[in-house]
Amino acid sequence: MKYLTKDELAAMLRVSVRTVTAYMSKGLLPQPLQLGRKLLWSEEAVIQFIQPKPVLANHTSGPVKRGRPRKVVVV
Quick one: what percent of the chain has pLDDT higher than 90?
59
Domain count, the chain: 1
53, pLDDT greater than 90: no
**Within a domain: residue 9?**
yes
What is the distance between the alpha carbons of residues 55 and 52, in angstroms, rounded to a whole number? Answer: 9
**Within a domain: residue 15?**
yes
Residue 28 lies in domain: 3-50
Task: Give the model's pLDDT for residue 59.
Answer: 57
**Within a domain: residue 12?**
yes
8 burial type by CB count under 10 A (0-12 exposed, 13-18 middle, 19+ buried): middle
Q: How confident is the model at residue 12 (pLDDT cuts 50, 70, 90)?
A: very high
62 versus 48: the higher-pLDDT residue is 48
51 versus 23: the higher-pLDDT residue is 23
